[in-house]
Amino acid sequence: MAEAGVTVAPDLGPDLDRIEAAVTAGDTDLSALGFWRIVAQVKPDRVLVGRYADQIGRIDTAAFRAAIRRRAPVWVGNGLLLALTLAALGAAIASHFVTSATLAGLLVLGAGLAWSISLHSPTHWAVGRMVGISFTDYFLGGPKPPRPGLKSDYATYLRTDPGSRAWMHASGAIMTKLAPLFALVFWLGSGAPWWSAAALVAFCLVSIATDVAFSVKVSDWKKYRRERAVARARAAI
């Protein structure tokens, strides 16, 4: 019997074994299998994280790779997005050397919009690696049109402090808002018309409004809020 006042960690092994067997057999609906309910139970408890992180990570990766076909190694995804970042930098620099003000404006605007895409996932990756999270794949996902996504290794994700996990999620969203503003540095002195700068600022404002309306419910800011709640729950234990 457990001593009075001592909390005994629940045995989640049989449930996770059942889910892992189902995923191996081809069932990738983790929600229906009760996987995320177990993950929510594990997250606030350091003992449970230490006990089950590896199996949870194994199940999550297997289900993801069975369900998502359009994926690539992390180094490939980072390399392609770095190439897009450098191409956008070249366009921004070229805006100072073209003779057409309209073309200069399009180059600056294109660079800002490209950076909002190309810097998002690599920022998640860089911040995640700094706090101890590994990543397994790039993939195409999200609302249409598809956009690059970065899959975390869930075992390392669980072992990372939830407050740090929260900021990993927030980092990409923040960079998406800031990246178009980087192009304004190149707009200065380029001869590009005012509308290109106005469009960059408008894009940032619309992106912020979209986050307020939707991302807190379905995307990075939802995950940020979720992990902040886990951090508070862990602190209360």
Give the pLDDT score at 1: 43
| In the block, residue with structure tokens 């307020």 | 212
Q: What residue segments make up the domains of the chain, in order of their start?
A: 10-67, 70-236
- Smallest CA-to-CA distance from 110 within 188, 171, 209, 182 is with 182
The pLDDT value recorded for residue 142 is: 60
DSSP string, 146-203: PEEEEEE-HHHHHHS-HHHHHHHHHHHHHHHHHHHHHHHHHHTTT---HHHHHHHHHH
Per-residue pLDDT, 219: 80
- How high is the pLDDT of residue 207? 87
Task: Give me the pLDDT at residue 235, please.
Answer: 86
Placement of tokens 């359009």 in the chain: 70
DSSP conformational letter for 121: H
Residues 6+ apart with CB under 8 A from 108: 91, 92, 95, 183, 184, 186, 187, 190, 192, 196, 197, 200
**What does the pLDDT read at residue 2?**
47
**Euclidean distance between CA atoms 137 and 64, whole angstroms:** 10
Q: What is the pLDDT of residue 54?
A: 97
Instruction: Specify the pLDDT at position 184.
Output: 93
Helix axes 220-236, 162-187, angle to 10 degrees: 150
pTM of the model: 0.88
Angle, helix 101-118 to helix 74-94, in steps of 10 degrees: 160
CB atoms within 10 A of CB 190: 23
Residues of the chain with confidence (pLDDT) below 50? 1-2, 4-6
pLDDT of residue 211: 79
What confidence score (pLDDT) does residue 212 get? 77
pLDDT at position 3 is 52
pLDDT, position 58:
97
